[in-house]
Structure 1
Amino acid sequence: MGVARGAVHLDLDGFVVSLTAPGVPWLPNGVALGRLPPAPVVRWDPADPPLWDPVVPPLAGGPAAFAAFAAWLLPRVAPPDVPLASAAGRLVGRGPGLTPEGDDVLAGAAAGLRALGPAAGLAAGRIDALARSLCPPDVRTRTGALSATLLLLAASRGTAPEPVHRLIAAGDRDAALADLRRLGASTGGAVATGIALAARYLETVTSGA
């Protein structure tokens, strides 16, 4: 598909694999290389164990931990004034970038729902339905192949770029947020916005629980 910001994107019949150079955050669809080759030719054995699992582990600690996370994140990342239930219809394919900002927001929201929903107290079935609703069935006709790949993975499995894993886990969240915002021209910031959108939604629907 092309080369941008330390990554080569290969379209494999609609599923995009991103080859990334050192210094680029690991991606859910990525193969991290010691250096980018002069041409996109890479030998890789899928039978080897992966370097990491791109599925973001759920936030540990229950409702108190979720409340603390939301209280930390929302003042730093303002979510858009978009209801989660209608977000896909309004955002898919919208905005600039190799992965449109609207798609990145949706991917962040889907990963955020799956990572934060259990601690917030939302039922598993509702989390799954909401996350999947953020990736409409016709996504491949409404946005590019790379963006559709990342959104499908986030909505169905809860995958996200590596800095999101550190953002959700206990640790230096300020550093993780800064690393996430450096991803792509606008991708990381939009993913963070999506996580904030999910956090605000969960805060609203579980506040009376």
Structure 2
Amino acid sequence: LEVHLHSGTVDAGGLGWRYGPSVGGFELTRLVAGFNGGFRLSTGAGGFESYGRVAVPLQSGLASIVTYSDGTTDIGSWHQEVPTPGKRVVSVRQNLSLLIDGGTASANVGCVSCWGATLGGVLDPARSALGITASGELVWAGGESLTVSELATALLSAHVVRAAELDINPEWVAGYVYGHRGGHGRLAPVAALASQPGIPGQFLAPWSRDFFTIVAR
């Protein structure tokens, strides 16, 4: 499996990205899963880069989801744990500082404002994150009503050693797994969260925000 970072019609916006605002091309026959990206790029929460094209410059020290040309993906603080020396980077999505580092939750998980503006100022909006285990397995976590601490605890229970929070609030948190109906015909998306409002088109139609797909090699 490998991770593809998609640009949305607004974030990152524009034409000509390697992976655009909807699943298409060879991905349609290999698509396994898809899930939301990070905060709006206008919030200053981090950079976005794909195949040498930069929408927002990367910032040292921020939580970074990094995919390499060999198809592997890692998560870490930019210019600290990532990128791996000697490996060619193909995409980077940054969002805030690491939620989990070294198998330990960030010391400021109790600071609600540190982890994004929530609708109505609630402590437990919909939240999501992507983590990685010591053996390199990626773990997406999301829920309808989660504090930052609860999100970190869920990831730690899955043996995650580093993690980045992704988008928050109900409209923006969504994950799907895709059935292929015997390998032919239309994809059948299944919501990862039964209560999620969902993304119109389930990433199979153009979407405004960036997102990730998991694709079989």
> Under a length normalisation based on structure 1, what TM-score does the superposition of the two structures give?
0.25
Larger strand proportion, structure 1 or 2? 2
**Structure with the larger RCO, 1 or 2 (CA within 8 Å, 6+ apart):** 2
